[in-house]
Amino acid sequence: MAYGLLKGKTGIISGALNEKSIAWKVALRAKEEGAKIVLTNAPIAMRMGEINKLAEICEAPIIAADATSVEDIENLYIKSMESFGGKVDFVLHSIGMSPNIRKGKAYGDLNYDWFLKSVDISALSFHKFLQTAEKLDAINEWGSVVGLSYMAAQRTFPFYTDMAEAKAMLESIARSYGYRYGKLKKVRVNTVSQSPTETSAGSGIGGFDKFFDFADKIAPLGNASADSCADYVVTLFSDLTRMVTMQNLFHDGGFVNTGISEDVMALMEK
Ligand SMILES: NC(=O)c1ccc[n+]([C@@H]2O[C@H](COP(=O)([O-])OP(=O)(O)OC[C@H]3O[C@@H](n4cnc5c(N)ncnc54)[C@H](O)[C@@H]3O)[C@@H](O)[C@H]2O)c1
């Protein structure tokens, strides 16, 4: 059901790789709520071509940008503003990748060049999105920037290796830049800490299936789906959450505050 929450708003959505991507669902919901959007992803991800389907449904231009390149991000904002005929109201950062996870490296055997790559792609890029927007004055007052995070920023999940550090940095950037951008332009910056979700990035993590089931049994509401994440993110882009900033917001069915559940205790019974 649509409520017209984003009527008249414009936004940039990164990270839609395929139909399972959280960003894909956010793009569909943003369009449904009345926004005009631009889609972006790394040039290499474009080659898969799936994003073209989404662009057609959303009537959205696609502007390629490697999130580690300030030059690409500048071009992204400039072209987006040209396309909208004005500044941007919201930005979704839905980008994450760890070469160490991809190559199955354990936490005690990390490749440090890859570690830096994980941080650059998954966290520093958030700062690059924000700093470039500020320099180009690309975001309207009361605009909203959302990044996607995971609870390994606060609590240890062994298989998440260097992405835990990247997410901790991502959430810290939301606080630090949220302060700065709030003061300067009343732009709010938040991260949404999402349940394990079956996507390319999610399923690439070792033991994902078991962990997905465990989280689902712990959370009183069960795991939050990508669709419900999109609903939540859309509210953060809307004018209904204008005073929410510098927050890491858990969207996890209650997992973070649950010690143990009856379902998990039943599994332990011999
Ligand atoms: N899936 C989960 O379990 C889960 C849980 C919590 C948070 N998240 C976070 O949600 C976000 C989106 O992930 P997803 O689960 O939808 O998976 P996904 O694989 O669909 O999306 C990740 C995206 O990052 C993009 N990307 C990678 N390197 C890039 C680069 N250099 N420049 C630009 N884009 C680049 C990929 O092309 C892809 O579109 C990520 O930040 C992820 O860490 C995922």
Spans of all domains in the chain: 10-268
Question: How do residues 26-46 score in pLDDT, each as one tens digit?
Answer: 999 999 999 999 999 999 988
- Distance in Å, CA 33 to ligand 1 centroid: 23
Ligand 1 neighbourhood includes 27 CB (under 6 angstroms) = no
Ligand 1 neighbourhood includes 76 CB (under 6 angstroms) = no
Ligand 1 neighbourhood includes 98 CB (under 6 angstroms) = no
Mutate to test the pocket of ligand 1, among 48, 91, 97 (most ligand atoms within 8 A of CB): 97
Mean pLDDT score across all residues of the chain: 96
pLDDT at residue 270 is higher than 80: no
Question: How do residues 96-107 score in pLDDT, each as one tens digit?
Answer: 999 999 999 999
Longest dimension (CA), the chain: 65
Residues, the chain, total? 270
Ligand 1 neighbourhood includes 42 CB (under 6 angstroms) = yes
Ligand 1 neighbourhood includes 5 CB (under 6 angstroms) = no
Contact 191/248 with Cβ under 8 angstroms? yes
CATH of 10-268 among 3.40.50.300, 3.40.50.720, 3.30.930.10, 3.30.2130.10 = 3.40.50.720
